[in-house]
Structure 1
Amino acid sequence: MHNIRQHIREFILLLLGWLLLVYSSNLMTLTRFNEKSIRTVHINSGALGLINFLLFYGCLRWIATPFFEKRHRTRRLVSVLFIIPAFTLLKYGFVKLFFEQDLLYRGHQIVNRQKVHVYTSLGEYFISALWNNVIIVIAAFSFRLFVLWLQEEKRRAALQQQQIQAESGFLKMQLNSHFLINSLNSIYSLALMGSPEVVRANKTLTHLLSYMVHQPSDISYRAPIREEISYLQDFVTLQRLRTGYNEGIVFSLPAILPDKAIAPLLLVPFVENAFKHGVSNRPGKPVTITIVCDEQQLSFSVHNYISGQQRDKTGGIGLDNVRKRLQLLYPGRHQLDIRDTGKEYFINLAINW
């Protein structure tokens, strides 16, 4: 039942498109607008146009479609050799029966001093209409080929989207696992020191994990910028609890945030990197995080002094992954500048909404 409705809908849409095309093309070729010329347009576009459409649709539905599906190709091509002359004869009979004076009559000539009416013969009409039908059949094959091309492009786009989705999800999973390990290490450090802030740090981590878990895997999803910044604030709070130096972290935010959205978990790797490899327990050398955003752009910067201790060999994983995520999520709409002087580390990210 569903297939029948789909075929009926396809037939009606193609018919309307066909009539619109033939009527507009015939009207554009008119040099005079009078009753006779308008009647001729209606005959060629409406009456004969319907027969031409039946040839087009029948060839499209039962010949071209199976042909490109590689079903009995030889049989389909042979059937074309019968259908074209059959429709040519059908049109001649239709015109002869209903529109002989309009389309076949060519005036008169004097033969033996008698006026003889001259009409287009079957052979003459057959030759002219035959080429017209050949063009219609070629149009049916071309249209089917065009539809197949569109379907193939759609399939390729869907596969590419799935690939991007899978790659983005894999990169986000790596970022999340990397972040979780570092956060657990921070809480473990508090526990070793016997800090009473362990409970508070655990609650903050719970909030962070809840936010991470509830983010959809859809690559097109964007989280409100307010939620993403709140997530960053919880992360900074966790680091402050770990170090015990509030002055070692400077976090600057705009007073009013625009009603915009951003890919979730995109900014935290930069902040995590600053705490992992920077100095956050010296008020004179703080980790500085600055966010400026308006209706057009988000500007995000992180600056930290580099710790003299040996760096974690896996420290580059987060930044490498976030670079790839930016390329997937904001192609041509972001600018990332990273500068390492050996003593200081600067990250500047600009994203156009």
Structure 2
Amino acid sequence: MNDDKSMMQLTEAEYRKRFDGYIITDCAVLKRGHYYFVSRNLAEAERAGPTAEAMVTKRLSWYIPDNPEDSRIRHMRFEGYQTLDICANPSEGRMLCVSIDGLVTVTGGDGEDEDEDEIPKSITGPRRGTIERLRTIDDCMVAVGSDHTVCLRKGSNQWQSLCLNLPVPTLADFDDVERSDNMAFVDIDGFSENDIYVIAGKGRVWHFDGTKWSRIAFPSDMDVYSICCAGDGYVYIGAQSGSLFRGRGNEWTLLVREMLTLPFEDIVWHAGKVWLTSDYGLWNVIDGQLVEADLPSSDIKVCAGNLSVADGVMLMAGTHGAAVHDGSAWQLIFHRMQFAR
């Protein structure tokens, strides 16, 4: 192991202080060398069960390997949060943490940690319902969620509604689980601010042209989970059981049909490739085929679960650890079993 790789990895003391007893649920890159992780307390999760997630403490940890060893990794606690999503906002140089209810905390960069106002909720937006996903498009941060929520961050405590002509939910929609799910956006991505795709429910895909939203003629009623507007000019949509669609506009092809137990959690474009991950592994799309990613070791493979790309690097983190790809090679940050007692 060379010195660079040794410097990248957490020490056992760092791991014990920040991650022992917690499991990673999300990750994000602020910029090269600035890596962020969301984790949840395992013991509290077991006691709380599936219906009391707000009782489970969440942590936001940030890791800056070039800092002095005593300050390379820090964390802050979030209590009473059912969910905690994170996303870099390059236009501000900050990391945003947003709850399902629209509570906002800003951290990272050169500024102080700050709790902002809740994202305003109204039938016209910016927030119609819950917040389910954050993404960066054209160096700007967007949030999507239930009831056809789409909003764009314009600055501190400033959110612009992009709900526009998206249908407003009716009482009948609220009373029907499938109809509600079909209006609950779960992911968003775009080639630019004027070329955005968003997905929900059973094959619901919408496109934004900078002025209005149009429903896409998507050729499936499979549940959809993840989306990527890739550097090859295609849009990739991850559906149930690892199914994968590729297309743009109203033309789509099913590349992969239901070959996995889990859907893809994240799909990203990095180093000239499409990368897809779930808790079960990491894949690329090569010549229209889904191919297991070529990884240097099992230590890297077990870090699968979530992906984030920024500033030429890709961060991967999950149940068992974290690793980063710098465009040409992988470096391990930590592997949980390294520190097993």
Superposition TM-score tier, normalisation by shorter sequence: under 0.3
Q: Provide the TM-score with structure 1 as the length reference.
A: 0.22
Query: Whose radius of gyration is greater, 1 or 2?
Result: 1
> Which has the larger helix fraction?
1
- Give TM-score, length-normalised by structure 2: 0.23
- Larger strand proportion of the pair: 2
